[in-house]
Structure 1
Amino acid sequence: MASFSSLVLPSISLRRSSISTCNLGFRNEISRISLENLDRGGGVFMSVAVGSQTTVVDDALFKDYKLSHAFLFPGQGAQAVGMGVEAQKVTVAAELYKRANDILGFDLLDVCINGPKEELDSTVLSQPAIYVTREVTSLAAVEVLRARDGGQAIIDSVDVTCGLSLGEYTALAFAGAFSFEDGLKLVKLRGEAMQDAADATKSAMVSIIGLDSEKVQQLCEAANQEVDKADKVQIANFLCPVISGGLKGIEAVEAKAKSFKARMTVRLAVAGAFHTTFMDPAVSRLEAALASTELRTPRIPVISNVDAQPHADPDTIKKILARQLTSPVQWETTVKTLLNNGVEKCYELGPGKVIAGIVKRMDKSADVDNIGA
């Protein structure tokens, strides 16, 4: 697998259209980084000085990317007591848990394996738990894949990644945008800030089974007619789909769902109304943490939850991660982006087959596999 600390990027002259390549060792060789907002088709550019050379990275660097194999990472709500057990059989994976314990200040693996479920479901614990477990199981899954005939060739061919909500952080770490440790610190802060926002107002999320997004929007509107403004609901994920909002609004949705011909509703194991304005109090805290974190241009495209586009500029990625807290997850558009761009094979990394099921539901002919660990 390619090194996360080195990336080959096009060197673009602002005065000439010629393009050359240079190797950027982001950890050791960058002597100066400055962000320039250049009025060039609305793009954002990162000017990087390496010795006497200057390389300008357009945020649209990955706009015309070609893809063949994709790694997909699940998000919060996928946690379960017992996760992480199999990953302990892989030495490098077990070591990640030890490193995580030092950062978090508690035995994360013990909570993952033994629970209790109520503790694991709290946003403060579940977000770091899922991040670490997804990171760990991705490494373990890579080893499982490597042992297969032709597995190494598949690993080397992974050229795009994305993650559902919290899973976007794992995708960015996999793509080398930040280190495992920095990603965990961000997720820890994110979880704490979101938990505080959730504690401030009673809110929840519920998945609606058997309705398309248009019907779900109508369901939201019907529920909102019966509750105060503070309890109103909205779609937080257009594919599953998931509704997020005040507790009374969610209860109204659950009561009305059958009349809209929904097959069933499933309350998600999360602390509050994520991906809505209920999370506004958490945004400034995450922005401050992101501002002090080193982000690098991903080595491969990472499709954003906010706009279903890959971004190359670290400053833009930071802004998008902050916006993600209050923005609906564009997972349907993200999956369509992969399918429409001709992805040949998708791999869901870790236990469960939720994302694989979503991909197959959108395209029955899609080649998608789950790599458990």
Structure 2
Amino acid sequence: MKHAYVFPGQGSQFPGMGKNLYETNEQAKALFEQANEILGFRISDVMFTGSEEDLKKTNVTQPAVFLHSVIAFLCAEHPAPAMVAGHSLGEFSALVANGVLTFEDALRLVAIRANAMQKACELQPSTMAAVLALDDVKVEEICAAVTAETGAVVVPANYNCPGQLVISGALKGVEIACERMKAAGAKRALILPVGGAFHSPLMAPAKEELKAAIEKTTFRTPSCPVYQNVVAAAVTDPAVIKQNLEEQLTGAVRWTQSVQAMIADEAAEFTEVGPGKVLQGLILKIKKDAVVNGIS
């Protein structure tokens, strides 16, 4: 039986995140200072003393969550992972954990990704919405129908767990889709307080910018498989890992399917590494008797 490590994405941040690591571990302190230098500003100060509002800015949130996760992983004593996965941004953390990316290269890519996504968000009104207690196939059908009828793009973006799917797209498309989801029996269809349509075709400009950076970065052979968001399957070929990471910005996060694939491949224990316990909760909704814990 195998030990899986999973890494959270945007939304897990909180004021004070990582401060205890910095104050109690010399290796962690050195990594935070290295990150400050790479990013060109003291992100550690924002993480440790900034407000919730400060941490919501995409160019801060993404590197902050990445740093908390990766530094916690590198500084903790734990069994070697047999498999890794990350939710959206968390996939970059997972690729450091299994040796595909260096800490420095991954942080640079995360910073480029965050800034590119922020710029893409500003190009047109767009958003995301959580749909609860409606069959995935029905959500997919409604999204496709709204896009075809109105020309306003809306797509399934995050398959988080059974009964929880996030949709993403143009503001008009998401609003119409939400009304139809509720009419079709969804318990809730709630627009989320996000600034853009992550994991949708509207992220295409950001994808091109990130792709250019990824192509210049060395991807090494992993120490264990990564279960990537867009394919929800184990991947070990660095060239394929690179391609899937490029597709991730405009493709769906198939988290439910990824966890199911890890369980099918004999994952017996899941350790969430980084801020919060979001992924532990989702995994328990995917498999009620899963063994979950965390490193923060």
Give the alignment partner of residue 163 of structure 1, picking from 82, 86, 101: 86
Higher CA-based Rg = 1
- Cα shift at 1:96: 1.7
- Cα shift at 1:85: 2.4
Aligned-partner Cα distance in 1 for 2:192–2:226 = 26
Give the corresponding residue for 1:78.
Answer: 12
Give the alignment partner of residue 235 of structure 1, picking from 146, 149, 156: 156
Aligned-partner Cα distance in 2 for 1:236–1:130 = 20
- Cα shift at 1:110: 1.7
Give the corresponding residue for 1:369.
Answer: 293
Q: Which has the higher helix share?
A: 2
Q: TM-score, with normalisation over the residues of structure 2? A: 0.90
Give the corresponding residue for 1:109.
Answer: 44
Give the corresponding residue for 1:129.
Answer: 64
Give the alignment partner of residue 193 of structure 1, picking from 116, 119, 124: 116
- Cα shift at 1:346: 0.9
**Deviation larger for 115-124 or 289-298:** 115-124
Give the corresponding residue for 1:95.
Answer: 30
Give the alignment partner of residue 178 of structure 1, picking from 93, 97, 101: 101
Give the corresponding residue for 1:316.
Answer: 240
- Cα shift at 1:284: 1.9
Aligned-partner Cα distance in 2 for 1:70–1:291 = 28
Give the alignment partner of residue 135 of structure 2, picking from 209, 212, 215: 212
Aligned-partner Cα distance in 1 for 2:12–2:184 = 27
Cα RMSD of the aligned pairs, angstroms, is 2.1
Give the corresponding residue for 2:230.
Answer: 306
AA of the residue aligned to 1:199: E
Aligned-partner Cα distance in 1 for 2:184–2:48 = 39
SS across alignment from 2:267: coil
Preserved contact between residue 65 and residue 275 of structure 2 (Cα < 8 Å): no
Matched, 1:296 2:220: yes
- Cα shift at 1:336: 0.6
Superposition pairs of residues 26-105 of structure 1, within 5 angstroms: 68-88=2-22, 89-105=24-40
Matched, 1:251 2:175: yes
Superposition pairs of residues 241-280 of structure 1, within 5 angstroms: 241-280=165-204
AA of the residue aligned to 1:210: A
SS across alignment from 1:118: helix
Aligned-partner Cα distance in 2 for 1:181–1:276 = 28
How many pairs align? 292
- Cα shift at 1:272: 1.1
Give the corresponding residue for 1:57.
Answer: none
Q: TM-score, with normalisation over the residues of structure 1? A: 0.73
